[in-house]
Structure 1
């Protein structure tokens, strides 16, 4: 698969690629990069979903493409499973032949694909969908099942090149496990865009899209991190060496100016005292000026070269800034009651779902809320946040609480980042808000950007800043699938922010590595109730194929 001198821009003139060259060979490639760098756009160009402004893409063989955020409209929801799998016509012809309609058209429709149903069932079963049946309507499936169904269609079609764009978004742990297995067994060319570390550990190579260019790293994501860390250590060392060289060249240039000035003062004094004839003094003066000029030129050139080396060294250092904040007002004393759940019954999926048992959250605990899609995690968090009324029982928060939903719809798109945060902290001065926003990487003009113009990662940071800087400061923070649609740098920034947070956390997520990175103190499985579990049990039981 190749891209040659590929250029693309959006209708408003925003450039994405300018002369991109890329060649992808056999194996599984993880395509990573910051939000907004063009990863999804590149896959769409390769898949033929978009047309390049210039250049070309070429693929040897057939292409299968799984886009990000598959949505079911009313038409798609009415399709049968066999139609989505692309085998409906073949299957109908096969059944007709079995019923005695041995026509030439039916034999042509079947071709050599006499085992199509067996292969379809095998593909579905491989992804945990064996129970759904080929005649079932797609609208009856969950969002995660619809993603897996489209993955099954691709596996059944056996394309030469498989393009996957964030395939594990919104999949629960069990569904992710099925998809991981499919990726592990893929033997053709695969390019997968993902922020899912577990998935990226399964690739053969990493391609990082950065500033319109692709750089290759052999091995999985861990190998990539190790290489980049070593590379950055060397780059930072080169910056220090280059900075020292610039300072040395500045000193030498200053010393050259001082020596020249001393010689000029000495020559002038000798001439004034009559110790040197005027013609000799003039010759010496001209000679000194020429020598001083050469020295100044030499040292100026050396300084310019040193500054250029410094600029090059600085460019080699990545600017993926980390969030560094202090939030003492969010601190919760050990033992202080934060949240109480008692005999809850929740309105969920058109019915009532009980959450039996008691939950007493005290102090700065960090709770991971895990469970399959549809188990009620979002409903429970929205009920605790006061956005939904329980059918029975109670959910009582004893400290100021804030909720970060999956959709990130808390901010006003028409207002700037500063003005949005001001709405959450009306007593804070503009200068104080700006100073605090700088720690969330919104400095200067960036803080004035309308929220509607922000990238996904920037919008997440702005929303997180608004919640954490709110008045009163939240001592209980609830997050619903916070890493969905975040690039790896943004996930790192979120982890940095939560390291500074001193209150209690309740996080619903399928991203086990992320949960482990934020210091979870208690794991709860929502499965007909709230049951204590562990990270090891989550991996062993929920991921069991």
Structure 2
């Protein structure tokens, strides 16, 4: 039997507002490569932090063996957080600087240890990652998301851990960086837990844990095995619900017929016994009413049991039903009218790029691709009018919707419903239904969007884009698949497949891109732009 690195023993966690996030979770993480999946907001990141010792459970215990390194999801950073801090080397670099300046403090020498060539070694590693242009004292918020994640992954290798817990490590990574990550994970000799919805990474693991309101369940095998098992469970749950509903209809008919027979017997007894003594008639009537009452009580108990069974089956099925993104009916548009044009446009980039000449037409579906830091997000910001170009001209003549990586279109201090206008055929009841189908229930709609999980914020921003007014004719989506759970990702793919408008999407998720029916790709290979049909 393999040695467990992490053991969860009846672990529960209660949120500050008193809600129980999960309860009585038990599992063992050993040397096998494992993954943790689950719906957005179910508590995966909090569970990972409990495993890493960064939080304490409300009850139960988490036992650890060996050194554990936790890599958190990368979000917005405060201005004072540097790349050196992401690497976890800021203390050693600062001590080296003090020693170079003449310090003879014992503490400084103990901090450095044997890492006298650490700055040179780090620079070599950054060069190998094609990140040699970065400086370790740069603020993390000034660097692209993919570059930040690569630096953080380098920090994970420096930790010399026995067990790695990586929370959405492929988010923001370009294709080459994703290949390097996959190779790093293949070469890793210690225990590994991936919190991820990246289907290519999930294909590499040997076991998948799913966290849901029902608890923590282990599935042997990789994503393909997990996906097949989930499909089988969904079919079984649906069959069980249909069987119980059919059984309830059948038994309701039988109960009704039984009551009708008893009532007929009572009526017949009343006609036959009109010559009997009143005392005998009263006794028979009382017995008959007791019999009918007993039958009705038994029927009510059986009805309540069936109703409870159906409610439980419905709840179980509801937890497994796929997420759905509602899309208003759209008229087919066969025109090829111009929606957006760029003439000799120069992006406000530090790295030089040639001027861009681009025309987007109705129905066009364009993927913007390139390495981290090449300027993909900047291009979408310029298209959306949120950033000015350095030179050139842009004309926009359509309704445009823009979703950035941080879901910054949301007001973090307000609940989502407060940001969604009613009218134009949309009632609050309809909005609540569509949002519930999206995985945002009444509880999530009652809190400010800033308190939602990363995936829930992306869903909320997507809802604001689709339900906040008239449907855009052009969607600009910057890494929309980041943070989304597997069911939500599949729902987004299905919705975009039905969307009749034009689409510009930045993504490094090749599986996602393959399902979008793209017409063109725009490759940024500084300083060159390369536009090609698919």
Shift in CA distance, 84/201, structure 1 to aligned 2, threshold 3 Å = farther
Tell me the equivalent position of 1:154.
156
Query: Which moved further from structure 2: 309-318 or 172-181?
Result: 309-318
Q: Which moved more, 1:80-89 or 1:171-180?
A: 80-89
CA–CA separation in structure 1 for the residues paired with 2:489 and 2:463:
15
Query: In structure 2, the residue corresponding to 1:137 is in which secondary structure?
Result: coil
1:218 alignment partner in structure 2: 220
1:21 corresponds in structure 2 to: 26
Residue aligned with 2:395, SS: strand
The 3 A distance-change label for structure 1 pair 301 and 437 is: closer
Rounded Cα–Cα distance in structure 2 between residues aligned with 1:81 and 1:52: 27
Partner of 2:395: 396
Q: RMSD in angstroms over aligned alpha carbons?
A: 3.8
Deviation at 1:34?
A: 1.7
User: Following superposition of structure 1 onto structure 2, how do residues 24-423 of structure 1 map, counting pairs within 5 Å?
Assistant: 24-69=29-74, 71=77, 74=80, 76-77=82-83, 83=89, 124=125, 128-129=128-129, 132=132, 137=136, 139=138, 142-143=143-144, 144-211=146-213, 213-272=215-274, 274=275, 276=276, 281-282=281-282, 284-319=284-319, 320=321, 322-328=323-329, 332-349=333-350, 353-356=353-356, 358-422=357-421
> Distance in 1 between the 2:261 and 2:404 partners?
68
Distance 1:132 1:482, change over 3 A: same
CA distance change for structure 1 residues 282 and 51 in 2, over 3 Å: closer, same or farther? closer
* CA displacement, residues 53-102 of structure 1 (integer Å, 9 cap, x when unaligned): 33221122221222221748646446798946979999x99xxxxxxxxx
Normalising by structure 1, we get a TM-score of: 0.81
Tell me if the contact between 1:235 and 1:316 (Cα under 8 Å) persists in the aligned partners. Answer: yes
Q: Report the Cα distance in structure 1 between the residues aligned to 2:416 and 2:159, rounded to whole angstroms.
A: 47
**3-state SS, counterpart of residue 302 of structure 1:** helix
Q: CA deviation at 1:520?
A: 2.0
- More deviation in 286-295 or 396-405? 286-295
Verify the 8 A CA contact 1:249 1:306 in the aligned structure 2.
Answer: no
Larger deviation, residues 517-526 vs 22-31:
517-526
- 1:444-475 CA-to-partner distances (Å, cap 9, x unmatched) read 78766654454444433332233223544311
In structure 2, stretches of 5+ residues that fail to align are 1-5, 100-108
Equivalent residue number for residue 540 of structure 1: none
- Equivalent position SS for 2:197: coil
Q: Report the Cα distance in structure 2 between the residues aligned to 1:310 and 1:225, rounded to whole angstroms.
A: 26
TM-superposed CA distance for 1:308, in Å, is 2.9
Q: 8 Å contact 1:495–1:517 — kept in the other structure?
A: yes
1:235 is displaced (CA, Å) by 0.7
- Structure-2 change in CA distance of 1:462 and 1:330 (3 Å): farther
SS at match of 2:517: coil
Look up the match of 2:495: 497
Which residue is 2:507 aligned to?
509
Give 5+ residue unaligned stretches, structure 1: 94-104, 536-545
Give the whole-Å Cα distance in 2 for the aligned partners of 1:140 and 1:454: 26
Give the SS at the match of 2:508: coil
TM-superposed CA distance for 1:179, in Å, is 0.7
Give the alignment's TM-score, normalised by structure 2. 0.83
Residue correspondences, number: 511
Measured in 1, the distance between the counterparts of 2:413 and 2:80 equals 31
Partner of 2:529: 530
Change (3 A) 1:15 1:160: same
63-72 or 502-511, which deviates more: 63-72
Q: 1:221 to 1:360 in 2, by over 3 A?
A: same
Counterpart secondary structure, 1:8: strand
Change (3 A) 1:146 1:407: closer
Between the aligned partners of 2:84 and 2:263, the Cα distance in structure 1 is 89
SS of structure 1 residue aligned to 2:271: helix
How far has the Cα of 1:284 moved from its partner? Answer: 4.5
Question: Secondary structure of 2:388's partner?
Answer: coil
Q: Is the 8 A contact 1:63 1:161 kept in 2?
A: yes
Distance 1:25 1:443, change over 3 A: closer
- 1:200–1:175 distance in 2 versus 1, CA, 3 Å: same
* 1:428 aligned partner: 424
Structure 1 pair 519–51 and aligned structure 2 pair: CA distance change class (3 A): same
- What are the superposed Cα offsets for residues 459-516 of structure 1, whole Å, 9 maximum, x if unpaired? 3333223322354431111111112222223323323432342111111111221222
